[in-house]
Copies of this chain bind each other. A is one copy, B any other.
Amino acid sequence: MPKAKIDRKTLLRNALSVFKVKGYSASSMQDLASANGILKGSMYHYVESKEALMIEVLNALKDHYVAKVFAKAYDDDLAPVERLKELARRSEEIFMYEEGGDFFVNIGLETKQSVPVFAEIIKTFFEEWIRTLKHLYSFVTNEKEAMEKAELAVAEIEGSVILMRLLDDPMYLQRTNKKLIEDFNRLALENPENKLKY
């Protein structure tokens, strides 16, 4: 009976797959256990509760984005526009090819009233994302507009992801990313003094 220990990363990844497909409320501990090849009862050796598990999943995912995706925005080896492209490329990958890549929105909207703890983490994720884009826009415009552009970019991307999901058409996200990069380039050219920042 001694099944191979499940390492934490795998546990969280498997839990994420379940939560992505079923959402929070409709995912049962049974589902989560099955996804890990163990019995329901055994889940409680790993996590304190379903809620605690979701919190860990959200944090891990947020940290992953910050460390692996958003970090690109601070890579001085690349020109700012290249960094933006890199972000867009990664987010297209995530949102398009992984079922439920718009995980934070899904869970955030579903549980806002019932499990407010999740909202905190999700808020942080979006703030980080905006902060990251703002950093990039700062190369091509002033602080105030950089913030607005960043916020709008996130709104546009999320809105596109949603249309992509609800209307079953990946075009929405692709077009939005393309537009954002063009706009970024335009800004860079319009304000030549910005070039100095490169």
Contacts and interface: CB of A to CB of B under 8 A. Distances in A.
Interface stretch (A21-29, A50-58, A88-96, A133-141): A21-29
A155 B172 contact: yes
Contacts of A166: 104-105, 108-109, 112, 119, 122-123, 126
A152 interface: yes
Contacts of A154: 159, 163
Interface residues of A, number: 42
B106 A109 contact: yes
A174 interface: no
Contact of A162 (B22, B158, B168, B176): B158
A105 B22 CA distance: 15
A158 B163 contact: yes
